[in-house]
Amino acid sequence: MVEIIPKSPQSSPLFIKVFFVLSIGAFVLSVGGLVVLSFLESKVQTNIAEMEALLRAEKTPEQAGLEQDVLVVQTRLKDFAGLIELKKDVLPVFTFLETVVHPQVTFLSMNIDLPRHTLHLLGTAESFSALDEQLAVIEAREEPTLFSLTNLQLGQFTGVDFQMEIQFPITFFKSL
């Protein structure tokens, strides 16, 4: 049937129109926010990659200084370890001298040559007989492997000045 009186089209209520406009605006803002966030994420990822490359390529001055300090300490420890390995106990020399020194003989200087296991002594004796007795006492001992009187002369005022060299076996100087 045909209607004779035309009806006007029904319009939607106002709150539906407002919600429709707001939902379209929210959709546009969401899409726009997604695009902006994607752009910012790619920019941040690029910055992170550049910084990682810089960190791998270059050390900071603090890191370089610390590394240098560690290398210096490591070198010192190696040197110290080498010195400790070479360190020998010279106490047996003093014990030996304590038992063999003649009362009329005075030793003025002593030099120990550890690589050659040799003791160099510079001394003075009150007389030739005291020096002869001193030499006899040292020769009678079993510790020295080689013994020699290297210099002999009359003292400036009294007595006899001399130099002697005593060589010991390798096992005489104990390692610490």
Locate 22 and state its tokens.
Answer: 């707001």
pLDDT, residue 18, reads 93
pLDDT, residue 41, reads 95
Residue that terminates a domain, selected from 85, 118, 151 = 85
Residue 29 three-state SS: helix
CATH for 121: 3.30.1360.100
Q: Determine the Cα–Cα distance for residues 34 and 157; give it in Å rounded to an integer.
A: 109
pLDDT, residue 71, reads 92
Give 64's pLDDT tier (boundaries 50, 70, 90): confident
**Structural domain includes residue 81:** yes
Q: Determine the Cα–Cα distance for residues 107 and 64; give it in Å rounded to an integer.
A: 55
- Is residue 67 pLDDT above 50, yes or no? yes
More confident residue, 58 or 176: 58
**Structural domain includes residue 117:** yes
**Structural domain includes residue 19:** no
pLDDT, residue 134, reads 84
The answer on 171 and 94 residing in a single domain is: yes
Locate 19 and state its tokens.
Answer: 């919600």
pLDDT, residue 20, reads 93
The per-residue pLDDT for range 25-39, each reduced to its tens digit, is: 999 999 999 999 999
Q: pTM here? A: 0.47
The answer on 113 and 60 residing in a single domain is: no
Give residue for tokens 């926010």.
Answer: 33
The answer on 69 and 124 residing in a single domain is: no
The answer on 169 and 94 residing in a single domain is: yes
pLDDT, residue 140, reads 85
pLDDT, residue 21, reads 94
Give 23's pLDDT tier (boundaries 50, 70, 90): very high
The answer on 114 and 148 residing in a single domain is: yes
From the list 121, 123, 119, the residue with the least C-alpha distance to 131 is: 123
Residue that terminates a domain, selected from 58, 85, 112 = 85
Report which DSSP code applies to 2: -
- Is residue 75 pLDDT above 80, yes or no? yes
Residue that terminates a domain, selected from 56, 85, 114 = 85
Strand partners for 106: 124
Q: Determine the Cα–Cα distance for residues 110 and 121; give it in Å rounded to an integer.
A: 5
Domain count along the chain: 2
The answer on 151 and 98 residing in a single domain is: yes
| Other beta carbons within 10 Å of 161 | 16
Residue 56 three-state SS: helix
**Structural domain includes residue 21:** no
**What is the average pLDDT score of the chain?**
84
Domain housing 142: 90-175
The answer on 102 and 44 residing in a single domain is: no
